[in-house]
Amino acid sequence: MRIRKRELLFFWSLIGILSTLQAKMNDLSRDDFPPGFIFGAGTSAYQVEGAAAEDGRKPSIWDPYTHAGKMLDGSTGDVAADQYHHYKEDVGLMFEMGLDAYRFSISWSRLIPDGRGAINPKGLEYYNALIDELIRHGIEPHITLYHFDFPQSLEDAYGGWLSPQIIEDFRAYAEVCFKEFGDRVKYWTTFNEPNAFPSLAYDIGWWPPERCSYPFGFFGNCSDGNSTVEPYIVGHNLLLSHAAAVEIYREKFQAKQKGFIGITILGIWFVPLTNSSKDISATQRTFDFFNGWFVEPIVHGDYPSSMKEVVGSRLPTFTKQEREKLRGSYDFIGLNHYNTFYVYNLSNHSATRQRDFLRDLGSNLTDVRNGIPIGKRGPSGLPVVPWGMQALLEYFKQSYDNPPIIIYENGYGLKNNESLSLPDALNDTGRLEYLHDYLESLLAAIRNGSNTRGYFVWSMVDAFEFLFGYQIRYGLYYVDFKGANRERHATRSAGWYTKFLKGRKYNYKHIDLWKRISVSKEDGIHISTSLSVD
C-alpha cells in the first residue's frame, strides 16, 4: 500500500523522538558502507579558484556585486583560496586523505567568457589540467555546470535567467563541457541548488542580480523586479535548461562516455511543530515549495499540485513536450543537506492579495518547540540535527521510488576567529562530531534501504561563502587568507576523515585524535598542520 505524502512526512517527523530508528554506531569507518560507495569533498569555482581577472576570464554576476561591497564582510572572490594556482597541491592533499572523488564546478565565464561563442583556450587548459591531475591520482571528477556564477555578459544582454533565451545558451555551454571533458568525467550535475537562488536573487533581492519588488525585498533596493512572479519564471527556465542539457547529453554523449547526469537541490527537512492537521498540511506544502519545486518536475513531469493551487496563474506551465522531456531527466539526484526546521501554519495566508514566494508558503519556520531547540545550534546559528538526514532520505525513498542519491554537500561552518592561534583554529572538534553524527544517520538510512551512492563533505578547503564571505570556515583544510601563498593546514576533522577513509575505526568521543593522529609508518601518512606522504 502506498503511503500518502502527508502521512509519510508526519511519520518521519517522529525520528527525532524515536531514537531507535537511527542505529547508533560508536565506531565508524568507510568499511561500514556498501562496496563502491563514493566518499569525497567539494568546492565551487567562484568560491575557491580566484584568478578572477586572469587568463581571459570575464566577470560573473558575483564580480560586480562583491566589488560594490555587498557582502556582509565586504569581501570578494578575486583570490579566495587561489585554487587556480594551487590545484596540484590541493589534489595532492585529496590523494593523501584518500578521497574517491572531488566535486567542483566550471566557471562559465572562464570557459566561455562572453557566455556564448568562442571558448577561452586558457580556461579550457585549466580545467583539462585539473581533471587530468585528479585522474592521475585516482580521484573521480564530479562536475557541476552551474554553481551561481552566471556570466555578467548574458545578464546584460537579455536579463539572464528571466529570459527563455538562456535555455539555448545553457544547452550550448553544456555541450561544450560534455565534448571537451566527458571522456574523463562520468558524473555531471546541471545546477547546484536551483531551489535556493531564485528566491534569494529574485524575491528578497539579497543575491545578484538583486531583483525584488516592494514590499518584499529584504536586502535589495527593490527598484527593479517583481517578487510575485520572477522567482517562478527563473525556476521554470532553470528546469527547461536542465532538461535541454540532459537531452543533449543523452543524445550525443552518454552512450559513448558512459557517464551519469543529474541535478543537485538544497534538501531541507521539515517537521510539523504540532500534530495538528494544519501544521502537518503546512509542512507538506513547505516541503513541496522548497524541495518538490524541482524534484517533482524531473520525476513526474510537473510542479507539485500544492504549488499550482497556491500560486495559480503566476506559476508558468509546461507544454506536453516539455513535461515529457523533464520526466525522468536524471540518472541520480544530488542533495545538499544542512538544515532541519519545525513548520507551523499561518492562518489566512491565502487571503493576502499580494504574495511572493515566501508568502505563498503560508507557513513559518522555527528551530524551537516548547522552548527546546530541535538541535544544538552551530556557530553559523543553524541547528545541528543529524536525524534529519535520515528522515529526508527515507522520504525520497518512499515518495520518489528510491532514486539514486548522492549527498553532495554536508558540512559544519566555524566562525573565522582571527584571534585564535593556528593550533586552536585547527582543533575543530565541533566539525568532527558533526561529520561523525551525520555519517551515522546516513548509514542508518542506507541500512534501511535508501539508494544513496555517495557522500561529499563541504568543503575541501576554506572558501568564499556566498552567505558569509570569509566570516565562516567550512574547510577540512584551513586556508590562510591573509598569506600571499594561501597556505593550507589540515584541521583535526581532516585527520579524522583520513582515518575514516582508510578503514580505521575511531570513536571521536573516546580517543584524542588530535594528540594521537601520528601513528605509524605503515599508514603511509602523518598529520600535523598538513598531510604528507612518507
Residue for cell digits 590545484?
Answer: 87
Reported as a pLDDT band with limits 50, 70 and 90, residue 380 is confident
pLDDT of residue 381: 86
Please write the tens of the pLDDT for every residue from 177-236.
999 999 999 999 999 999 999 999 999 999 999 999 988 988 767 879 999 999 999 999
pTM: 0.93
Q: Is 482:470 a contact under the CB 8 Å cutoff?
A: no
Question: Is 6's pLDDT higher than 90?
Answer: no
Burial class (CB in 10 A: 0-12, 13-18, 19+), 165: middle
What's the rounded Cα separation, in Å, for the pair 175 and 112? 12
Selected residue with higher pLDDT from 322 and 519 = 322
Is 409 catalytic? The answer is yes
Q: Average pLDDT of the chain?
A: 91
- Rg of the Cα trace of the chain? 22
Q: Within 10 A of 317 (CB to CB), how many other CB atoms are there?
A: 11
Please write the tens of the pLDDT for every residue from 442-494.
999 999 999 999 999 999 999 999 999 999 999 999 999 999 999 999 999 99
Please write the tens of the pLDDT for every residue from 498-508.
999 998 776 65
Q: Within 10 A of 347 (CB to CB), how many other CB atoms are there?
A: 9
What is the CA angle 30-438-448, rounded to 5? Answer: 75
Burial class (CB in 10 A: 0-12, 13-18, 19+), 1: exposed
What's the rounded Cα separation, in Å, for the pair 497 and 479? 18
What's the rounded Cα separation, in Å, for the pair 171 and 382? 36
What is the CA angle 148-107-193, rounded to 5? Answer: 25
Catalytic entry in 96, 193, 296, 465: 193
Question: Is 351's pLDDT higher than 70?
Answer: no
CATH number listed for the domain at residues 5-533: 3.20.20.80
Reported as a pLDDT band with limits 50, 70 and 90, residue 292 is very high
Is 155 catalytic? The answer is no
pLDDT of residue 347: 86
User: Could you tell me which residues come within 8 angstroms of residue 103 by beta carbon, excluding any fewer than 6 positions away?
Assistant: 40, 41, 42, 43, 142, 143, 144, 408, 456
Cell (9 digits) for 502: 582508510
Catalytic entry in 409, 433, 440, 465: 409
pLDDT over 90 for what percent of the chain?
85
What's the rounded Cα separation, in Å, for the pair 122 and 107? 12
What's the rounded Cα separation, in Å, for the pair 447 and 434? 20
Cell (9 digits) for 336: 545538499
What value does the mean pLDDT take over residues 84-109? Answer: 99
Q: What is the DSSP letter of 2?
A: P
